[in-house]
């Protein structure tokens, strides 16, 4: 947890050059930067979700002397699913933003670099087009997570649907 807090506390603009220096401008550095940007909110939400198992269900598992694996699979993971999908709904659009920032800061290619170049050249038509593409991708990712959530919860944790 302290490492996650430390990674989230430092702005990505200052850590990006260090990560690029250590891992290079390629796929490894880019994926690492995106992971650092979206990991912490998802991590905290999932930890909170794991602790949200209903007390009566915990009592039943205690009464039957269920082991830790059975508790995790049948109790804690289904209780965590809503928090997991809430985190996914937050982090998917954040990941699109993170990729755009990483393209601008680390690779110099892609939509992020195009947005920076368009802004510096005052090509506002291209800049707004890139913004619309990023916004549509974020909205589509958000909708896709909602679609997957409905199907997964209906199958594995129907009591979590509200």
pLDDT at 28: 86
Max avg pLDDT among 1-10, 67-76, 140-149: 140-149
Instruction: Report the domain count for the chain.
Output: 1
Mean pLDDT of the 116-142 span: 93
* Contact assessment for residue 54 and residue 82, using Cβ atoms and an 8 Å cutoff: no
pLDDT, tens digit, 9 for 90 and up, residues 26-45: 888 888 888 888 888 888 88
Cα separations in angstroms, 144 against 31, 41, 55, 60: 21, 19, 32, 35
User: 54-61, long-range: CB within 8 Å, 24+ apart, which pairs?
Assistant: 54/79
Structural domain boundaries, residue 95: 2-160
Report pLDDT digits (tens) over 47-84.
888 888 888 888 888 888 888 898 888 888 888 888 99
Collect all residues with Cβ–Cβ distance below 8 Å to 118 and sequence separation of at least 6.
Answer: 124, 126, 127, 130
What is the CATH number for 14? 1.10.3720.10
């Amino acid at each position: 947890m302290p490492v996650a807090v430390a990674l989230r506390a430092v702005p990505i603009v200052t850590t990006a050059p260090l990560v690029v220096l250590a891992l290079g401008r390629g796929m490894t550095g880019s994926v690492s930067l995106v992971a650092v940007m979206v990991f912490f909110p998802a991590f905290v939400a999932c930890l909170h979700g794991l602790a949200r198992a209903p007390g009566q269900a915990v009592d039943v598992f205690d009464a039957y002397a269920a082991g830790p694996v059975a508790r995790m699979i049948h109790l804690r993971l289904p209780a965590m699913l809503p928090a997991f999908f809430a985190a996914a709904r937050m982090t998917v659009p954040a990941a699109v933003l993170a990729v755009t920032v990483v393209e601008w800061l680390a690779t110099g290619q892609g939509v992020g670099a195009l947005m920076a170049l368009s802004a510096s050249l005052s090509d506002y038509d291209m800049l707004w087009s890139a913004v619309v593409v990023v916004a549509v991708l974020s909205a589509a990712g958000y909708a896709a997570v909602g679609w997957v959530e409905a199907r997964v919860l209906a199958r594995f944790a129907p009591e979590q649907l509200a």
